[in-house]
Amino acid sequence: MQKKNKLQDLREYYLSPSLSLSYEEPINIVKGEAQYLYDENGKKYLDAINNIQHVGHCHPKIIEAAHFQSKKLNTNTRYLDKTIINYAKALTAKLPDSLNICFFTNSGSESNDLALRIARNYINSSETIVLDGAYHGHLTSLIEISPYKYNSTGGKGCPDYVHAVPMPDSFRGKYKGNNSGEKYFNELKKITKSTKKKFGKPCTFIAESIMGCGGQIVPPKEFFKKSYHLIKKEGGLCIADEVQVGFGRLGENFWGFELHNVTPDIVTLGKSIGNGHPLSVVVTNKKIADRFNNGMEYFNSFGGNPVSCAIGHAVLNVIEEEKLQENACKVGNLLKNMLTELKQRHSIIGDVRGEGLFLGVELVKCQKKLVPTINKTHYIINQMKKEGILLSSDGPDHNVIKIKPPMVFNSRNASFLVETMDAVLKKM
Ligand code: PMP
Protein backbone atom coordinates (compact mmCIF):
# COMPACT_ATOMS: atom_id res chain seq x y z
CA MET A 1 0.00 0.00 0.00
CA GLN A 2 1.41 3.36 -1.03
CA LYS A 3 2.03 5.83 1.82
CA LYS A 4 -0.21 8.88 1.42
CA ASN A 5 1.48 12.22 1.05
CA LYS A 6 0.38 15.44 2.74
CA LEU A 7 -1.55 16.75 -0.25
CA GLN A 8 -3.56 13.55 -0.39
CA ASP A 9 -4.32 13.79 3.33
CA LEU A 10 -5.51 17.36 2.91
CA ARG A 11 -7.60 16.42 -0.07
CA GLU A 12 -9.26 13.66 1.94
CA TYR A 13 -9.89 16.14 4.74
CA TYR A 14 -11.37 18.93 2.62
CA LEU A 15 -12.92 17.30 -0.44
CA SER A 16 -15.97 15.12 -0.90
CA PRO A 17 -15.15 11.46 -0.18
CA SER A 18 -17.25 10.43 -3.18
CA LEU A 19 -14.60 11.81 -5.54
CA SER A 20 -11.95 9.23 -6.37
CA LEU A 21 -8.36 9.77 -7.49
CA SER A 22 -6.85 8.20 -10.60
CA TYR A 23 -4.12 5.54 -10.25
CA GLU A 24 -2.87 3.45 -7.31
CA GLU A 25 -0.18 6.04 -6.71
CA PRO A 26 -1.93 9.34 -7.41
CA ILE A 27 0.03 12.02 -9.24
CA ASN A 28 0.41 15.69 -8.47
CA ILE A 29 0.25 17.37 -11.85
CA VAL A 30 1.70 20.87 -11.84
CA LYS A 31 2.04 21.79 -15.51
CA GLY A 32 0.40 21.05 -18.85
CA GLU A 33 1.55 21.74 -22.38
CA ALA A 34 -0.12 20.46 -25.59
CA GLN A 35 -0.48 16.65 -25.14
CA TYR A 36 1.90 16.47 -22.16
CA LEU A 37 1.51 16.79 -18.39
CA TYR A 38 4.30 17.19 -15.81
CA ASP A 39 4.30 16.13 -12.17
CA GLU A 40 5.93 17.88 -9.22
CA ASN A 41 9.21 16.04 -9.85
CA GLY A 42 9.31 17.08 -13.50
CA LYS A 43 8.28 13.66 -14.81
CA LYS A 44 6.64 14.01 -18.21
CA TYR A 45 3.46 12.12 -19.07
CA LEU A 46 1.84 11.64 -22.44
CA ASP A 47 -1.82 12.47 -21.88
CA ALA A 48 -3.82 9.92 -23.84
CA ILE A 49 -7.10 10.40 -21.99
CA ASN A 50 -7.97 14.06 -21.58
CA ASN A 51 -10.53 14.90 -24.23
CA ILE A 52 -11.51 18.10 -22.45
CA GLN A 53 -8.22 19.85 -23.29
CA HIS A 54 -9.22 19.34 -26.90
CA VAL A 55 -6.70 21.57 -28.70
CA GLY A 56 -3.99 20.86 -26.12
CA HIS A 57 -3.20 21.82 -22.54
CA CYS A 58 -2.65 25.56 -22.01
CA HIS A 59 -2.91 26.39 -25.71
CA PRO A 60 -1.50 29.94 -26.09
CA LYS A 61 -4.36 31.13 -28.34
CA ILE A 62 -7.00 29.99 -25.86
CA ILE A 63 -5.17 31.66 -22.98
CA GLU A 64 -4.80 34.81 -25.06
CA ALA A 65 -8.53 34.86 -25.89
CA ALA A 66 -9.43 34.44 -22.20
CA HIS A 67 -6.95 37.11 -21.15
CA PHE A 68 -7.95 39.62 -23.82
CA GLN A 69 -11.69 39.34 -23.13
CA SER A 70 -11.25 39.25 -19.32
CA LYS A 71 -9.37 42.54 -19.47
CA LYS A 72 -12.12 44.12 -21.55
CA LEU A 73 -15.45 42.90 -20.20
CA ASN A 74 -17.23 40.00 -18.57
CA THR A 75 -20.92 40.29 -17.88
CA ASN A 76 -24.17 38.39 -18.37
CA THR A 77 -26.33 37.84 -21.42
CA ARG A 78 -28.93 40.54 -20.75
CA TYR A 79 -26.97 43.09 -22.78
CA LEU A 80 -26.35 43.36 -26.48
CA ASP A 81 -22.91 41.90 -27.14
CA LYS A 82 -21.02 40.98 -30.28
CA THR A 83 -18.98 38.20 -28.66
CA ILE A 84 -21.91 35.85 -28.09
CA ILE A 85 -23.45 36.54 -31.51
CA ASN A 86 -20.19 35.98 -33.39
CA TYR A 87 -19.62 32.76 -31.53
CA ALA A 88 -23.20 31.47 -31.99
CA LYS A 89 -22.85 32.23 -35.71
CA ALA A 90 -19.53 30.37 -36.03
CA LEU A 91 -20.76 27.41 -33.98
CA THR A 92 -24.07 26.94 -35.78
CA ALA A 93 -22.26 27.25 -39.15
CA LYS A 94 -20.68 23.90 -38.24
CA LEU A 95 -24.11 22.27 -37.65
CA PRO A 96 -26.89 21.28 -40.06
CA ASP A 97 -28.95 24.31 -41.19
CA SER A 98 -31.94 23.35 -39.03
CA LEU A 99 -29.90 23.59 -35.83
CA ASN A 100 -29.45 27.30 -35.36
CA ILE A 101 -30.76 28.38 -31.95
CA CYS A 102 -28.31 28.31 -29.02
CA PHE A 103 -28.84 28.15 -25.27
CA PHE A 104 -25.61 28.71 -23.34
CA THR A 105 -24.82 26.70 -20.20
CA ASN A 106 -21.78 25.82 -18.07
CA SER A 107 -21.37 22.04 -18.13
CA GLY A 108 -22.37 18.99 -20.10
CA SER A 109 -24.81 18.10 -17.33
CA GLU A 110 -26.49 21.49 -17.48
CA SER A 111 -26.83 21.13 -21.24
CA ASN A 112 -28.43 17.70 -21.00
CA ASP A 113 -30.78 18.79 -18.23
CA LEU A 114 -31.91 21.77 -20.28
CA ALA A 115 -32.22 19.64 -23.43
CA LEU A 116 -34.55 17.28 -21.56
CA ARG A 117 -36.68 20.20 -20.36
CA ILE A 118 -36.88 21.59 -23.88
CA ALA A 119 -37.79 18.20 -25.37
CA ARG A 120 -40.32 17.29 -22.70
CA ASN A 121 -41.99 20.67 -23.09
CA TYR A 122 -42.22 20.20 -26.87
CA ILE A 123 -43.68 16.69 -26.88
CA ASN A 124 -45.56 17.08 -23.61
CA SER A 125 -44.17 13.80 -22.33
CA SER A 126 -41.43 12.73 -19.94
CA GLU A 127 -41.05 9.27 -21.45
CA THR A 128 -37.36 8.92 -22.20
CA ILE A 129 -35.45 6.24 -24.09
CA VAL A 130 -31.77 5.75 -23.28
CA LEU A 131 -29.07 3.23 -24.11
CA ASP A 132 -28.18 0.79 -21.36
CA GLY A 133 -24.81 1.70 -19.83
CA ALA A 134 -25.11 5.36 -20.87
CA TYR A 135 -23.99 8.33 -18.79
CA HIS A 136 -25.40 11.80 -19.41
CA GLY A 137 -24.35 13.77 -16.33
CA HIS A 138 -24.43 14.23 -12.59
CA LEU A 139 -27.62 16.27 -12.01
CA THR A 140 -30.60 14.53 -10.37
CA SER A 141 -32.50 14.56 -13.68
CA LEU A 142 -29.53 12.91 -15.41
CA ILE A 143 -28.74 10.25 -12.85
CA GLU A 144 -32.35 9.22 -13.51
CA ILE A 145 -31.64 8.72 -17.23
CA SER A 146 -28.12 7.28 -16.82
CA PRO A 147 -28.11 3.47 -16.41
CA TYR A 148 -24.35 3.80 -15.81
CA LYS A 149 -25.31 5.45 -12.49
CA TYR A 150 -28.79 4.27 -11.56
CA ASN A 151 -27.84 0.60 -12.05
CA SER A 152 -24.53 0.94 -10.25
CA THR A 153 -23.51 1.00 -6.57
CA GLY A 154 -25.62 3.59 -4.74
CA GLY A 155 -28.09 3.84 -7.62
CA LYS A 156 -31.84 3.61 -7.14
CA GLY A 157 -32.73 1.73 -10.32
CA CYS A 158 -34.63 2.82 -13.39
CA PRO A 159 -37.50 5.30 -12.91
CA ASP A 160 -40.81 4.31 -14.52
CA TYR A 161 -40.61 6.97 -17.25
CA VAL A 162 -37.15 5.84 -18.39
CA HIS A 163 -36.70 2.94 -20.81
CA ALA A 164 -33.31 1.45 -21.62
CA VAL A 165 -32.51 -0.24 -24.93
CA PRO A 166 -29.91 -3.00 -24.43
CA MET A 167 -26.46 -1.53 -24.98
CA PRO A 168 -25.88 -1.73 -28.75
CA ASP A 169 -22.59 -3.53 -28.27
CA SER A 170 -21.93 -5.76 -31.27
CA PHE A 171 -18.87 -7.29 -29.57
CA ARG A 172 -20.16 -8.53 -26.21
CA GLY A 173 -23.79 -7.32 -26.04
CA LYS A 174 -27.17 -9.06 -26.25
CA TYR A 175 -26.85 -9.24 -30.05
CA LYS A 176 -23.44 -9.63 -31.63
CA GLY A 177 -21.91 -8.92 -35.01
CA ASN A 178 -21.96 -6.09 -37.51
CA ASN A 179 -25.50 -6.87 -38.58
CA SER A 180 -27.00 -6.56 -35.10
CA GLY A 181 -28.23 -2.99 -35.70
CA GLU A 182 -31.69 -4.14 -36.77
CA LYS A 183 -32.04 -6.29 -33.62
CA TYR A 184 -31.19 -3.42 -31.30
CA PHE A 185 -33.55 -1.23 -33.28
CA ASN A 186 -36.34 -3.78 -32.72
CA GLU A 187 -35.79 -3.41 -28.97
CA LEU A 188 -36.25 0.36 -29.27
CA LYS A 189 -39.31 -0.20 -31.43
CA LYS A 190 -40.88 -2.41 -28.75
CA ILE A 191 -40.38 0.32 -26.15
CA THR A 192 -41.77 3.03 -28.42
CA LYS A 193 -44.89 1.02 -29.23
CA SER A 194 -45.59 -0.02 -25.65
CA THR A 195 -45.11 3.51 -24.32
CA LYS A 196 -47.51 4.82 -26.91
CA LYS A 197 -50.05 2.10 -26.13
CA LYS A 198 -49.82 2.48 -22.34
CA PHE A 199 -49.65 6.24 -22.02
CA GLY A 200 -50.47 7.56 -25.49
CA LYS A 201 -47.18 9.48 -25.34
CA PRO A 202 -44.17 9.87 -27.61
CA CYS A 203 -40.60 9.60 -26.29
CA THR A 204 -37.45 11.61 -26.16
CA PHE A 205 -34.49 9.52 -27.28
CA ILE A 206 -31.13 10.65 -25.94
CA ALA A 207 -27.87 8.95 -26.91
CA GLU A 208 -24.21 9.42 -27.72
CA SER A 209 -23.12 8.45 -31.23
CA ILE A 210 -20.26 6.45 -29.71
CA MET A 211 -20.84 5.61 -26.05
CA GLY A 212 -18.02 6.97 -23.88
CA CYS A 213 -18.60 5.81 -20.30
CA GLY A 214 -20.36 2.77 -21.79
CA GLY A 215 -16.90 1.65 -22.99
CA GLN A 216 -16.29 3.31 -26.38
CA ILE A 217 -19.19 1.39 -27.91
CA VAL A 218 -19.85 2.09 -31.59
CA PRO A 219 -23.52 1.18 -32.20
CA PRO A 220 -23.87 -1.06 -35.25
CA LYS A 221 -24.87 0.32 -38.64
CA GLU A 222 -28.53 1.19 -39.18
CA PHE A 223 -29.37 1.33 -35.46
CA PHE A 224 -29.44 5.13 -35.24
CA LYS A 225 -30.89 5.71 -38.68
CA LYS A 226 -33.89 3.46 -38.03
CA SER A 227 -34.30 4.61 -34.43
CA TYR A 228 -34.29 8.33 -35.31
CA HIS A 229 -36.77 7.71 -38.11
CA LEU A 230 -39.19 5.86 -35.84
CA ILE A 231 -38.93 8.22 -32.86
CA LYS A 232 -39.61 11.23 -35.08
CA LYS A 233 -42.45 9.48 -36.93
CA GLU A 234 -44.15 8.79 -33.58
CA GLY A 235 -43.92 12.47 -32.62
CA GLY A 236 -40.87 12.17 -30.34
CA LEU A 237 -37.56 14.01 -30.35
CA CYS A 238 -33.94 12.89 -30.69
CA ILE A 239 -31.17 14.43 -28.62
CA ALA A 240 -27.54 13.79 -29.63
CA ASP A 241 -25.24 14.06 -26.62
CA GLU A 242 -22.04 15.32 -28.29
CA VAL A 243 -20.34 16.17 -25.00
CA GLN A 244 -17.56 13.64 -25.62
CA VAL A 245 -17.60 12.94 -29.33
CA GLY A 246 -18.05 16.35 -30.95
CA PHE A 247 -15.67 18.92 -32.45
CA GLY A 248 -13.85 16.72 -34.97
CA ARG A 249 -12.68 14.09 -32.51
CA LEU A 250 -14.06 11.26 -34.65
CA GLY A 251 -11.87 12.31 -37.56
CA GLU A 252 -14.04 11.74 -40.63
CA ASN A 253 -16.85 13.82 -39.18
CA PHE A 254 -17.02 17.00 -37.17
CA TRP A 255 -20.02 15.69 -35.18
CA GLY A 256 -20.66 12.21 -33.87
CA PHE A 257 -24.20 12.01 -35.25
CA GLU A 258 -22.82 12.45 -38.79
CA LEU A 259 -21.22 9.03 -38.42
CA HIS A 260 -24.73 7.56 -38.49
CA ASN A 261 -26.20 9.90 -41.14
CA VAL A 262 -28.85 11.29 -38.83
CA THR A 263 -29.94 14.80 -37.87
CA PRO A 264 -30.91 15.30 -34.24
CA ASP A 265 -33.61 17.72 -33.07
CA ILE A 266 -31.38 18.90 -30.24
CA VAL A 267 -27.61 18.61 -29.72
CA THR A 268 -25.80 19.08 -26.44
CA LEU A 269 -22.18 20.21 -26.40
CA GLY A 270 -19.67 20.41 -23.56
CA LYS A 271 -16.23 19.29 -22.39
CA SER A 272 -13.95 20.06 -25.36
CA ILE A 273 -15.99 23.09 -26.45
CA GLY A 274 -14.09 25.35 -24.02
CA ASN A 275 -10.79 23.44 -23.81
CA GLY A 276 -11.28 23.15 -20.04
CA HIS A 277 -13.21 26.38 -19.50
CA PRO A 278 -16.73 25.66 -18.12
CA LEU A 279 -18.70 26.34 -21.28
CA SER A 280 -21.45 24.27 -22.87
CA VAL A 281 -24.32 24.77 -25.28
CA VAL A 282 -27.67 23.31 -26.29
CA VAL A 283 -28.55 23.85 -29.95
CA THR A 284 -31.98 23.21 -31.45
CA ASN A 285 -34.29 24.48 -34.17
CA LYS A 286 -36.53 27.56 -34.15
CA LYS A 287 -39.80 25.64 -33.79
CA ILE A 288 -38.65 23.76 -30.69
CA ALA A 289 -37.05 26.88 -29.19
CA ASP A 290 -40.21 28.93 -29.81
CA ARG A 291 -42.41 26.42 -28.01
CA PHE A 292 -39.99 26.47 -25.06
CA ASN A 293 -40.58 30.23 -24.88
CA ASN A 294 -43.79 29.60 -22.93
CA GLY A 295 -43.54 32.47 -20.46
CA MET A 296 -40.94 30.91 -18.20
CA GLU A 297 -37.73 32.72 -19.02
CA TYR A 298 -34.44 30.90 -19.46
CA PHE A 299 -31.65 32.91 -17.85
CA ASN A 300 -28.26 31.62 -16.76
CA SER A 301 -25.91 33.79 -14.62
CA PHE A 302 -22.72 32.55 -16.25
CA GLY A 303 -23.83 30.78 -19.43
CA GLY A 304 -22.86 32.68 -22.59
CA ASN A 305 -20.75 35.33 -20.85
CA PRO A 306 -18.30 37.16 -23.14
CA VAL A 307 -15.19 35.45 -21.73
CA SER A 308 -16.66 31.97 -22.23
CA CYS A 309 -17.79 32.85 -25.75
CA ALA A 310 -14.38 34.31 -26.68
CA ILE A 311 -12.77 31.08 -25.51
CA GLY A 312 -15.27 28.88 -27.37
CA HIS A 313 -14.70 30.87 -30.54
CA ALA A 314 -10.91 30.57 -30.17
CA VAL A 315 -11.26 26.78 -29.80
CA LEU A 316 -13.20 26.61 -33.08
CA ASN A 317 -10.54 28.73 -34.81
CA VAL A 318 -7.66 26.60 -33.53
CA ILE A 319 -9.37 23.36 -34.64
CA GLU A 320 -9.55 24.87 -38.12
CA GLU A 321 -6.12 26.59 -38.23
CA GLU A 322 -4.23 23.55 -36.96
CA LYS A 323 -6.33 21.08 -38.99
CA LEU A 324 -7.04 19.07 -35.88
CA GLN A 325 -9.97 17.13 -37.33
CA GLU A 326 -7.69 15.95 -40.15
CA ASN A 327 -5.05 15.06 -37.55
CA ALA A 328 -7.60 13.04 -35.55
CA CYS A 329 -8.45 11.13 -38.71
CA LYS A 330 -4.84 10.46 -39.73
CA VAL A 331 -3.34 9.68 -36.32
CA GLY A 332 -6.51 7.93 -35.13
CA ASN A 333 -6.47 5.54 -38.10
CA LEU A 334 -2.77 4.84 -37.61
CA LEU A 335 -3.25 4.18 -33.90
CA LYS A 336 -6.28 1.96 -34.47
CA ASN A 337 -4.35 -0.08 -37.07
CA MET A 338 -1.38 -0.50 -34.73
CA LEU A 339 -3.66 -1.56 -31.86
CA THR A 340 -5.48 -4.01 -34.14
CA GLU A 341 -2.10 -5.46 -35.05
CA LEU A 342 -1.25 -5.69 -31.33
CA LYS A 343 -4.48 -7.66 -30.85
CA GLN A 344 -3.12 -10.41 -33.13
CA ARG A 345 -0.21 -10.87 -30.72
CA HIS A 346 -2.01 -10.60 -27.35
CA SER A 347 -5.10 -12.70 -26.78
CA ILE A 348 -6.12 -10.49 -23.84
CA ILE A 349 -7.16 -7.85 -26.39
CA GLY A 350 -10.66 -8.83 -27.42
CA ASP A 351 -11.65 -5.79 -29.44
CA VAL A 352 -10.20 -2.55 -30.78
CA ARG A 353 -12.85 -0.04 -31.81
CA GLY A 354 -13.79 3.58 -32.21
CA GLU A 355 -13.22 6.41 -34.64
CA GLY A 356 -10.52 9.05 -34.94
CA LEU A 357 -9.01 9.88 -31.57
CA PHE A 358 -11.84 8.21 -29.63
CA LEU A 359 -10.74 4.60 -29.33
CA GLY A 360 -11.35 1.68 -27.00
CA VAL A 361 -9.36 -1.48 -26.31
CA GLU A 362 -11.53 -4.12 -24.64
CA LEU A 363 -9.67 -6.67 -22.52
CA VAL A 364 -11.01 -10.19 -22.03
CA LYS A 365 -9.71 -13.39 -20.43
CA CYS A 366 -9.49 -14.96 -23.86
CA GLN A 367 -10.72 -14.06 -27.32
CA LYS A 368 -13.05 -17.07 -27.50
CA LYS A 369 -14.94 -16.70 -24.23
CA LEU A 370 -15.11 -12.92 -23.99
CA VAL A 371 -15.03 -12.85 -20.19
CA PRO A 372 -14.01 -9.36 -19.03
CA THR A 373 -10.72 -9.06 -17.17
CA ILE A 374 -11.05 -6.25 -14.65
CA ASN A 375 -7.95 -6.70 -12.47
CA LYS A 376 -5.62 -6.93 -15.44
CA THR A 377 -7.12 -3.81 -16.99
CA HIS A 378 -6.48 -1.96 -13.73
CA TYR A 379 -2.92 -3.30 -13.64
CA ILE A 380 -2.17 -2.29 -17.25
CA ILE A 381 -3.45 1.26 -16.71
CA ASN A 382 -1.21 1.63 -13.66
CA GLN A 383 1.81 0.17 -15.45
CA MET A 384 1.28 2.46 -18.43
CA LYS A 385 1.21 5.39 -16.03
CA LYS A 386 4.54 4.28 -14.55
CA GLU A 387 5.91 4.27 -18.11
CA GLY A 388 4.66 7.83 -18.61
CA ILE A 389 1.33 7.35 -20.41
CA LEU A 390 -2.00 8.39 -18.92
CA LEU A 391 -5.04 6.26 -19.76
CA SER A 392 -8.21 5.17 -17.96
CA SER A 393 -10.76 2.38 -18.11
CA ASP A 394 -14.54 2.31 -18.38
CA GLY A 395 -17.54 0.29 -19.50
CA PRO A 396 -19.98 -1.62 -17.25
CA ASP A 397 -17.21 -4.12 -16.42
CA HIS A 398 -14.37 -1.55 -16.31
CA ASN A 399 -12.42 -3.63 -18.81
CA VAL A 400 -12.19 -1.14 -21.67
CA ILE A 401 -9.09 1.03 -21.96
CA LYS A 402 -10.16 4.42 -23.24
CA ILE A 403 -7.96 6.47 -25.54
CA LYS A 404 -9.12 10.06 -26.15
CA PRO A 405 -6.11 12.38 -26.08
CA PRO A 406 -5.87 16.09 -26.86
CA MET A 407 -6.28 16.41 -30.64
CA VAL A 408 -2.63 17.41 -31.14
CA PHE A 409 -1.63 13.80 -30.44
CA ASN A 410 0.84 12.82 -33.18
CA SER A 411 2.05 9.64 -34.87
CA ARG A 412 5.17 9.44 -32.64
CA ASN A 413 2.86 9.55 -29.62
CA ALA A 414 0.75 6.77 -31.16
CA SER A 415 3.82 4.55 -31.70
CA PHE A 416 5.07 5.22 -28.18
CA LEU A 417 1.68 4.25 -26.73
CA VAL A 418 1.46 0.99 -28.69
CA GLU A 419 5.11 -0.01 -28.09
CA THR A 420 4.70 0.65 -24.36
CA MET A 421 1.45 -1.31 -24.21
CA ASP A 422 3.12 -4.17 -26.06
CA ALA A 423 5.98 -4.24 -23.53
CA VAL A 424 3.56 -4.10 -20.56
CA LEU A 425 1.46 -6.95 -21.99
CA LYS A 426 4.56 -9.05 -22.72
CA LYS A 427 5.70 -8.73 -19.10
CA MET A 428 2.35 -9.84 -17.67
N1 PMP B 1 -22.62 13.61 -21.30
C2 PMP B 1 -21.61 12.74 -21.48
C3 PMP B 1 -21.66 11.80 -22.64
C4 PMP B 1 -20.52 12.74 -20.61
O5 PMP B 1 -19.53 11.86 -20.80
C6 PMP B 1 -20.51 13.64 -19.53
C7 PMP B 1 -19.33 13.70 -18.57
N8 PMP B 1 -18.48 12.65 -18.54
C9 PMP B 1 -21.58 14.52 -19.37
C10 PMP B 1 -22.60 14.47 -20.28
C11 PMP B 1 -21.60 15.49 -18.23
O12 PMP B 1 -20.74 16.53 -18.44
P13 PMP B 1 -20.19 17.41 -17.21
O14 PMP B 1 -19.27 16.56 -16.41
O15 PMP B 1 -19.52 18.56 -17.90
O16 PMP B 1 -21.37 17.87 -16.44
Tens of pLDDT, residue by residue over 401-426, are 999 999 999 999 999 999 999 999 99
Q: What's the pLDDT tens digit per position in 26-49?
A: 999 999 999 999 999 999 999 999
Least confident window among 129-143, 280-294, 364-378, 391-405: 364-378
* 200 Cβ contact list (under 8 Å, min separation 6): none
State the average pLDDT over residues 365-380.
89
State yes or no: pLDDT of 191 exceeds 90.
Answer: yes
Output the CA 181–ligand 1 centroid distance in Å: 25
> Distance from the CA of 407 to the center of ligand 1, in angstroms?
18
Q: How far is the CA of 249 from the centre of ligand 1 (A)?
A: 16
Cα–Cα nearest to 357, from 275, 425, 414: 414
CA 148, 149, 155, 159 torsion-angle sign: negative
Please state the rounded mean pLDDT for residues 97-123: 98
pLDDT category of residue 2 using cuts at 50, 70 and 90: low
Please state whether the predicted TM-score (pTM) of the whole model is above 0.85.
yes
Q: Whose CA is nearest to atom 2 of ligand 1?
A: 136
Q: In this prediction, what percent of the chain has a pLDDT beyond 70? A: 99
How many angstroms separate the alpha carbon of residue 271 from the centre of ligand 1? 7
Q: Check whether 3 has a pLDDT greater than 90.
A: no
Report how far ligand 1's centroid is from the alpha carbon of 243 (Å): 6
Q: How high is the pLDDT of residue 367?
A: 75
Are 372 and 399 in contact by the 8 Å Cβ rule? The answer is yes
* Calpha distance 156→82 (Å, rounded): 45
Report the chain's terminal Cα–Cα distance, integer Å.
20
Nearest-atom index, ligand 1, CA of 138: 16
> Would you state the pLDDT for residue 119?
98
Pocket of ligand 1 (CB under 6 A): 107-109, 112, 135-138, 208, 212-213, 241, 243-244, 270-271
Alpha helices in 246-373 (DSSP H): 286-292, 306-321, 324-345
Number of neighbouring beta carbons within 10 Å of residue 190? 12
- Quickly state the pLDDT bin for 280 (edges 50, 70, 90): very high
Q: What percent of the chain has pLDDT over 90?
A: 96
